[in-house]
């Protein structure tokens, strides 16, 4: 399945979830599953949306 490359401003058209680096690199979080870390990023995104909406 071929994928196209994206350059410059084209990359701004994508949405990303933010996951704190400490969840990936921190020794205290090594026992958490990747699913749990991703869920944290999803919930953090929803919390930000809720704050923006009042």
Per residue in 21-45, pLDDT tens? Answer: 999 999 999 999 999 999 999 999 9
Portion of the chain with pLDDT greater than 90, in percent:
61
Q: Is 39 helix (H, G, I), strand (E, B) or coil?
A: helix
pTM (global) more than 0.85: no
End-to-end CA distance of the chain: 43
Q: Does 1 score more than 80 pLDDT? A: no
DSSP letter at 11 equals: G
Identify the pLDDT of residue 7.
Answer: 79
């Amino acid at each position: 399945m071929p994928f196209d490359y994206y350059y410059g401003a084209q990359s701004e058209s994508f949405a990303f979830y933010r996951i704190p680096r400490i969840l990936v690199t921190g020794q205290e979080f090594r026992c958490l599953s990747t699913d749990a870390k991703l869920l944290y990023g999803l919930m953090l995104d929803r919390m930000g949306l809720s704050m923006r909406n009042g």
